[in-house]
Amino acid sequence: MAMTHYFVSRHPGTIEWAKRLALKVTHFVAHLDADQVQAGDTVTGNLPVHLAAQLCAKGAAYWHVSMDLPVAMRGRELSADDLEQLHARVEQFNIQIIQAPQ
């Protein structure tokens, strides 16, 4: 069975940056339906931690788009060139819920 690689972003600059990296992405999506993700799939993006934990619990790999974003650049749309200048990178995380509040 072929594994699926989802790249999750609603930002055109981030999508262009990912294409420059030549990642083997199957689907670029603005919103991820976690129910579609199967064990063995890969999800790359900048997801809320609880969603990333849900994907990891299913056996999917989660790769986070990380960057050191200066305060002055927050809240604006970034281009692919901006992401390169900010040394954006993809880093794999294995996230799990340790304990939920009682």
Q: In whole angstroms, give the CA distance from residue 55 to residue 36.
A: 10
7-32, pLDDT tens digit by residue? 999 999 999 999 999 999 999 999 99
81 phi and psi, to 5 degrees?
A: -65, -40
Task: Say how far residue 86 (Cα) sits from the centre of its chain.
Answer: 17
The verdict on residue 102 lying in a domain is no
The verdict on residue 79 lying in a domain is yes
96, amino acid identity: Q
The verdict on residue 100 lying in a domain is no
38-90, pLDDT tens digit by residue? 999 999 999 999 999 999 999 999 999 999 999 999 999 999 999 999 999 99
The verdict on residue 41 lying in a domain is yes
Q: Domain containing 34: what range?
A: 5-93
pTM across the whole model: 0.90
Residue 15's pLDDT is 96
The verdict on residue 72 lying in a domain is yes
The verdict on residue 86 lying in a domain is yes
The verdict on residue 50 lying in a domain is yes
How many structural domains compose the chain? 1
CB 14 within 8 A of CB 76: no
Nearest to 67 by CA among 86, 93, 44: 86
The verdict on residue 98 lying in a domain is no
